[in-house]
Amino acid sequence: MTNMQENLCDSKVELLIPWYVAGQLDGDDIALVETHISECASCNALVGEERKLMAAVKSNNDDIYQIPSNWENFKQQLAISDSHHNDAAEHEESESISPPPSNVIRFPLIQKAKKSITNPKTLGFIAMAQAAALVAVISVPNAPSIAPSDNIADTSAIIANTTEDNQDYGLLSSAKADKSKANVIMQLNPDMTIGALNTLLSAHNAQLVSGPNSANAYMVKITAGDFDATLSKLRGHKDVTLAEAINAE
């Protein structure tokens, strides 16, 4: 072997061998490697060794964790994401927002309502409804002994009414999400990611119905299993700051 070939062995060619073996080199690189290994026995042997190493590594993946398919839940998250995006775009584009239908309570829209609704009675009613809901939701973490049938029931009545009657409010409505009634209201640590929420809910046979609303609360439906036990597990999660039953069956 010439000195020049030895230098190549130490540097450029050897560095390229993994991609040569993987079939991922461009023409010039292929030519460089093939010209060299046709003359250099040690690098030729190195190619053979590299093939073995690659085959060994590739064959050794039996116990790699496979992410379970959770498309349906993930699709709901996409709908939420799109709704947020659309809401933001709508907010930017429109200075004047049409008033909602008379039978609809727009839960998160006090600011928008102030701009567009001229009827003081309607405005007052909406503001009071939102304030009542916010106070009830926010006060729950400090009053864990409150039974679902007490203050939370009032809140849930407002929220349930809103989510069922107002197709615009339910953030999942555009994605034809599960329209069945939520049975839990949750608030989360602001640092919790969508992926983490998705994982948490799917692990407990629960699914997101809508949210977040103006109080950063999520409406969730526990779909199977022991309702109380599941609710307890959700409450025990480190990123769940509130999980309360509403309309529990």
Q: Which residues bind other proteins (CB under 8 A)?
A: 14-16, 18-20, 22-27, 30, 34, 49-50, 52-58, 60-71, 74-75, 77-78, 81-82, 85, 193-196, 198-199
- For residue 246, give every residue at least 6 positions away whose Cβ sits within 8 Å of its Cβ, in sequence order, or none: 148, 152, 153, 155, 156, 159, 160, 182, 183, 184, 185
Residue 141: DSSP 8-state: G
Region for residue 16 given its phi and psi (left: phi exceeds 0; alpha: psi -120 to 50; beta: otherwise):
alpha
By C-beta, is 47 or 104 nearer to other proteins? 47
Q: Are the CB atoms for 175 and 82 separated by under 8 Å? A: yes
Least separation, in Å, of the C-beta of 145 and other proteins? 31
- Here the tokens at position 28 are 């010039």
85: helix, strand or coil: helix
Phi, psi of 219 (to 5 degrees): -95, 125
Choice between 77 and 162, CB closer to other proteins: 77
Whether 98 and 106 have beta carbons less than 8 Å apart is answered as: no
Least Cβ distance, residue 121 to other proteins (angstroms): 40
Kindly tell me which of 53 and 147 has the beta carbon lying closer to other proteins: 53
Nearer CB in complex with other proteins: 58/121: 58
Give yes or no for a contact between 224 and 205, defined as CB atoms under 8 angstroms apart. Answer: yes
Contact 247, 160 (CB under 8 A): yes
- What's the min distance (Å) between Cβ of 23 and other proteins? 6
C-beta atoms surrounding 89 within 10 Å: 10
Shortest Å distance, C-beta 18 to other proteins? 5
198 or 216: CB nearest other proteins: 198
Where do the H-state alpha helices sit in the chain?
A: 3-10, 12-21, 27-37, 41-59, 71-93, 110-116, 120-139, 151-165, 194-203, 227-236
Residue among 31 and 127 whose Cβ is closer to other proteins: 31
Least distance from C-beta 128 to other proteins, angstroms?
Answer: 36
Q: How far is the CB of 188 from other proteins (least distance, A)?
A: 14
CB of 212 to other proteins, least distance (A): 15
